Structure 1
């Protein structure tokens, strides 16, 4: 039987799949699971690149032992210290006491802080090279993609970059390991969702990282989550480039909250109006039930955002407020924005949404629509005017 974990004659996949965890970081749903990827590089000396979540330490060690046999593990390279990748460091050191742990200064400080390990380490800086004998590992600092210690490791002889979380995606690996062995279609939306939720705040650092790796002749991207990329490298890099520039495709996201259906009817009216004007695609989310990670994914993807909210205790409806805070945290520099809201005795939601747009430095398109009490056809002309203003702005 073909060994799918043998990526080249000298690089091996030793990661694991997690189909048990419900929420990534305790926040983001994992309907398709997630992989924690680690890699073994074997020259005359050996190096393990990254580890896995603590729940799978035993499986990682079994994978490493299966490959190494009686050979020693000489180095453990840590590209990223988030515990889903670093939590097995102490166990690897226990299994291989002579292993030297390789990381930059910030990484080594975190290793001591998290795991109490301060000896047997090798500090590396930008451009340093580790000679494994027949193979070399060169280190490239990519801070804030998406933690300050993050780096990438380049193996020139195998034209392979170990990229940490960069180019990562949600989704377990179903049978295969590389994009040539898998149905990769589900991963594109999961990659957008992963980026929007996990990396989304750090567009400029991602752009700097992309510029650093651009001169490399890359034949294989080994990220810490998702497939090993070979065939689809150009598409992966293009997607990361696009989302990190916050470039929206034509399309509209309508995200609303509604207690008793009145604000929801306004959302339906706006959606119908945009559809009648030929806007495609349109995605509508009820924020009381929607998976907010999917909402964020589509806000990153499309260039128009329309938000609706009732007034609640003199403020925004809590699910709407939570979404707007998450958008602000991700520093998205521009989206075409419009809003509508409702109230019973004292309106505040429209004002709060307008203040949000001003804080983001987004222009508000059209006059916000504010409904007092129950929905009626009397509000529809104002909704149509809002739609007309959006469509006109989209044409420009």
Structure 2
């Protein structure tokens, strides 16, 4: 009974953290058009360095994060990660005052550094804090916290920083002198200062709360020691084939998730839709993901195993991606938003499937998986490069980024998750 209460307490704490993850992460969809206008960027390739700077931090900081966690433990590591995030938020103040795109990207990278540490700690924690076969269910609960915050953040930030965006855009275009134009852009840029200062204060308070909490530690060195006897013969994390395949799977998954959530606005702009409308499109995708998480909580593992849920999700992603390609206008936008439904159960399934059976290598394996989040940096940048350089059409560029990714995710769901394991795959299925 006491163990269950500790687990419940841990889930609540991690749920709060996932809310913070979602709020900060899904601001990018609003920041892309905002910074494109405020910093007068020439094209979407430049604007999508917002996602590049943010998600590449995971690639560079994931392994150092695992080293830090080994020294600090989970609780202190999470508190440290929050403080780093707060520092990144405060960089937005001088960035806005100078209207410096480089400083904005620096702030986003620092925020990503903090999130890399938090994600490296929290994802294996929530996977291991209960039975592995129900890990996808727990991560789905975390996903609801994440996506509710994600739905709120673009709406709140969009209302604050992109209010009357179309009118401002027209005024900037028609300004006859440099001083008038700069005044308009400076006023627009400073709109982010108050929200990011408030966010930094809240994050610092949360760090203090985590530091003073009684969040239980978990001994990862003993985890799964009885479920996979091959662990004792492994001398390095790279010997786990299913983990390596899982890292690539997570890379592609995060890429398609960011495409559906952050690139949906750019897709709409390419179709001629006004900024006052497209600034809210990210929320549509996240609402769709929220529905998917609820389905996961109800069905996993009682009615469907994690890997079967992943396979079904991948097939849905393939269908919706094709539908985006063959439609246009608001119908195409609707199908992009529905990709959120297809994506919802992917992280909750991929992470525990890839990390299952790692034993003492769990923290390092988690760090490698977190490195896979860099997919969110590269896939959207590939999309914007293909369309802006007119190598392919907007719809073709989108399909090229999405379809192969979903096919690989399907492969991992039906075969890759069990590659190299010496135990029957039913070990991680629902009983």
TM-score normalised by structure 1 residue count: 0.25
Higher strand content, 1 or 2: 1
Higher helix content, 1 or 2: 2
Which protein shows a greater Rg?
A: 1
TM-score normalised by structure 2 residue count: 0.23
